Amino acid sequence: MKEIIPYKTLEGARRALDNGGRFFNLFTKAGDGKITGSEISKAAGVLGDKHSVMLFFQLAISRLSNNDQQSLMDHLDDKIKRKWRESPADNIPVYRFHQTATPNKPVIVEGYPFFVEDREQFSSFIMIPITVGNTTTMMMVPIFDHFDVYEVYGNPDKTGRSALVGIKRLKGRKRIPVSRTTFAGIVKEMDFKNKKRKKPFVEATFVVK
């Protein structure tokens, strides 16, 4: 998860986003008036993830005026505009999250995070070769992600309904303080003890404090 500091001015946002992309993006040019997915990807510090690219863009321009935001959207190239239309991030109030969240969709939630627990969550399998004598077979090995889980409320007194947010645990990462925070990521489902059904949560990619 990365912390984003939203752009403060339209001109600053244009310079940061219309950046020419990385060295291997041969068909993009800094300052040409068109903002491509590869240029947003460079600004976001991510590679090849369309959801992360659009989540970053949406959060990075969120503090600008509506007119300035529209101006930047008008500069998006046709390909990234199409991606925006196909998979926009829903800005869901925390009190409606469990009723409206759809797995594998990008979302943004905002509120006051309270640490709940750290959890180990099954992620996927990988295949590894196992050789015994002259025979090699493939074995499926489960992969688990480790999360710090937060319950995010709309109010600092922990009243009302809440949304769950999971942040992949990294060594040395401090817990998020209880202050109004915006989380952006993908809706996943998590198993909880003594719960018959999985519960949706946001696997956070970006945060704005």
* The domain boundary residue, chosen from 73, 88, 103: 88
Q: Tell me the per-residue pLDDT of 21-50, one tens digit each, with 9 for 90 and over.
A: 988 887 889 999 999 999 999 999 887 678
Where on the phi/psi map is residue 17: left (φ > 0), alpha (ψ -120 to 50), or beta?
Answer: alpha
Residue 163: give the domain boundaries.
94-208
Residue 209 has pLDDT above 80, yes or no: yes
100 and 48 together in one domain: no
pLDDT at 1: 86
Structure tokens at 111: 């509120």
**Statement to judge: residues 40 and 137 lie in one domain:** no
Domain of residue 198, CATH code = 2.40.50
Q: Do 76 and 117 reside in the same domain of the chain?
A: no
Model pTM above 0.95:
no
Tell which residue, 4, 8, 10, 32, has the closest CA to residue 19.
32
Taking the C-alpha atoms of residue 167 and residue 15, their distance in angstroms, rounded to an integer, is 30
Question: Same structural domain for residues 101 and 181?
Answer: yes
> Using one digit for the tens of pLDDT, what is the confidence trace for 81-92?
888 788 788 899
